[in-house]
Amino acid sequence: MRLEKDCIGEELVPDNALYGIHSLRAARNFPITRERVNPLIIASYLQIKKAAAIANQQAGTLDSNKALLIIAACNQLLLSKDFESVIVPAIQGGAGTSTNMNINEIVANLAMKLGRQKGKLTVKIHPNDDVNQCQSTNDTYPTAGKIAMLKDLAPLEDAVNSLIHVLEEKAHQYQSTVKVGRTQLQDAVPTTFGRSFSASAAMFKRDLQKMKAIEKTLATVNLGGTAIGTGINSTRDYQRAVMPLLNRITGLSLTQADDLIEATQNSDAFSTFSGILKGLALNLTKFCNDLRLLSSGPQAGLAELSLPKVQAGSSIMPGKINPVIPEVVNQVAFEVIGKDVTVTLAVENGQLELNAFEPIIFKEVLTSESHLTAAIKTLVKNCLRGIQVNVNHCQNEVDQSAIAATILSPYLGYEKTTALIKEAERVQIPVKTLVKQKQLLASTLIDNLFSPEVLTNQNQADLQKLKSLAGHSH
């Protein structure tokens, strides 16, 4: 065991531990969850420490040997992805200070270990004075959080793109397959499954556009602002160099905020992004609810869709199959909506020059991103690709639907059409048959009016021609 000191007192730390006294205290102080800091935040933080070390070395404020060892330590951790020494919990007080200090301590201790191995260590590398030079938790932590969110955003956008692509394929496949439309869960005028799938694709395209639009906001960071945005304890040379270096290391296009004080104290960018994720979750919920409803049955439900059979649905009812993929996506969506409430409250309750609640913001947003990505992937792979429309059943429903008589209103009037619908329901025959029996319109016109193209309003020109012919026949 080694004895370490801080402003509180002394603590014994295991000899082989890369973390130090601050990390140890944080692990004890925040026994809220076993979930540790998100690996994307850790990796992003290490990239920031690497960029800072290079900038400070170039500025002449950090000894070259120290800088090279810090850079080597960051590289080793990034390459190995061995983050076991980051022991602080994801939920923590202190606005992320515990995370920053945990990173500072493991980088400093690993750098000294590498120095001893290379026989180059001549001086002690200090977590604050060297690894944290020209930095504060208050500018590095939100920067690491935003970098992590941007890294997690790319796979989410890919997943949404894949979802859109499959929906467009289904729209093309079933472009002429008619179905009964429904409003308020009651029969409405017919449409096609092609249009339904296309409408869903358009909905998710809108979500994708919103995610693309937020990228610039997330890429605007307050690095260089240090404690409250004034840049105290940083150098001009560091300020000039650190952002280009960080962009080179991360491969991103980050920009420094125009007003570092404002960017340090306000966290509305995170609530905006969380709201976009919530919007995606809401749309996924609506879509999956529709899948579950349209596939209900199969004997006693709508049964218009057949979802792929991916697992047995009951321990007692033989042969029962449940829509488990839409169900799990629904649950992820519920989770994301709840996390957005947490983010909203955390953003709202920041005070004065700093928001202290970014740890829970980052935990919730990053979880939402990763869970949505995984949910959409399984939705596409295990449900949408194999979905089948029960074409004949849907056509029969349209043929038997009295509400299809809506197409007659321009020719017979609303009240007469209503009477026909009621009579058709009473005598249990299709409206089309009833109109022919009563010889209310020419038989050819009736056939044309009840064709799928006209019922679903797919060809406005043909519909206008039919109306004109009907007028001449009267």
Residues 6+ apart with CB under 8 A from 119: none
Q: Which two tokens stand for residue 143?
A: 């920067």
- Cβ atoms of residues 36 and 88 within 8 Å: yes
Q: How far apart are CA 2 and CA 112, in angstroms?
A: 15
2-5 and 10-13: which strand pairing? antiparallel
For residue 379, report the phi and psi dihedrals to the nearest 5 degrees: -65, -45
The tokens of 436 are what? 């022919």
Q: Is 451 a catalytic residue?
A: no
Which residues touch 204 (CB under 8 Å, ≥6 apart)?
Answer: 160, 163, 164, 167, 280, 283
Q: What single letter denotes the amino acid at residue 194?
A: G
Please compute Rg for the chain using Cα positions. 31
d(CA 289, CA 309): 17
Give me the helix-helix angle, 137-173 and 39-59, nearest 10°. 130
| Residues facing 351 on adjacent strands | 354
- CA distance linking residue 314 with residue 311, whole number of Å: 9
Tell me, rounded to whole angstroms, the distance of Cα 270 from its chain centroid.
13
Helical packing angle, 64-80 and 39-59, nearest 10°? 160
- DSSP code for 8: S
Question: Which helix H or strand E contains 192, and what residues bound it?
Answer: strand 186-192
Total residues found in the chain within this entry: 474
With contact defined as beta carbons under 8 Å apart, do 222 and 48 qualify? no
Give the 3-state secondary structure of residue 392: helix
Catalytic residue among 176, 314, 443, 473: 314
Q: Reduced to 3 states, what is the DSSP secondary structure of residue 2?
A: strand
Measure the CA–CA gap between 366 and 360, rounded to whole angstroms: 10
Q: Which spans in 230-267 are helix H?
A: 236-250, 260-265
What are the catalytic residues? 314
